[in-house]
């Protein structure tokens, strides 16, 4: 079972965390993370798909993986980010400056409830990224 850094406010382990290296990506297997599992199937979005243009929203908030996003208990404060415009979005991307950004289950469930696909990112930047890219 993976270990997560503790939430700075609750001191409980976080339920979602990025993969920060090619080694972590190589070692990752599905089903080993019982907390970060989405539960909502992708709902049908009837009206949205009739448009000719599609909208992708990229969530890039303070580095990602904020306590209110990743803890199954929510954050200790009420100042969390709440996205309210799901009806206008076709694809939601959860971004952070980590090698592999896996969206927290709460974001996946929220998107799926509204018929929005939710994606993470794979990024290779700076010297460490170049090294990992050569390994892959």
* Contacts of 46 by beta carbon, 8 Å cutoff, 6+ apart: none
First to last CA, the chain: 24
pLDDT tens, N- to C-terminus, the chain (136 residues): 445 445 455 444 556 778 888 888 888 887 776 667 788 889 887 565 566 778 888 887 666 656 556 555 455 555 556 778 888 889 999 888 888 888 888 888 889 999 999 999 988 888 888 888 887 7
pLDDT of residue 75: 53
Residue 35 parent element (H or E): none
Query: pLDDT tens digits, residue range 25-58?
Result: 888 887 776 667 788 889 887 565 566 778 888 8
Q: How far is the C-alpha of 35 from the C-alpha of 32, rounded, in Å?
A: 9
Identify whether the C-beta of residue 34 lies closer than 8 Å to the C-beta of residue 109.
no
The pLDDT value recorded for residue 102 is 85
């Amino acid at each position: 079972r993976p270990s997560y850094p503790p939430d700075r406010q609750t001191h409980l382990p976080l339920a979602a965390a990025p993969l920060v290296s090619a080694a972590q990506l190589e070692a990752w297997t599905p089903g080993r993370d019982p907390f970060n599992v989405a539960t909502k199937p992708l709902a049908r979005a009837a009206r949205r798909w009739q448009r000719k243009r599609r909208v992708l929203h990229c969530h890039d908030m303070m580095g990602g993986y904020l306590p209110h996003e990743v803890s199954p208990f929510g954050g200790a404060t009420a100042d969390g980010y709440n996205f309210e415009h799901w009806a206008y979005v076709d694809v939601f991307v959860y971004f952070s400056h980590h090698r592999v950004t896996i969206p927290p289950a709460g974001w996946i469930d929220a998107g799926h409830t509204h018929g929005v696909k939710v994606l993470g990112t794979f990024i290779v930047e700076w010297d460490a990224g170049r090294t990992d890219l050569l390994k892959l």
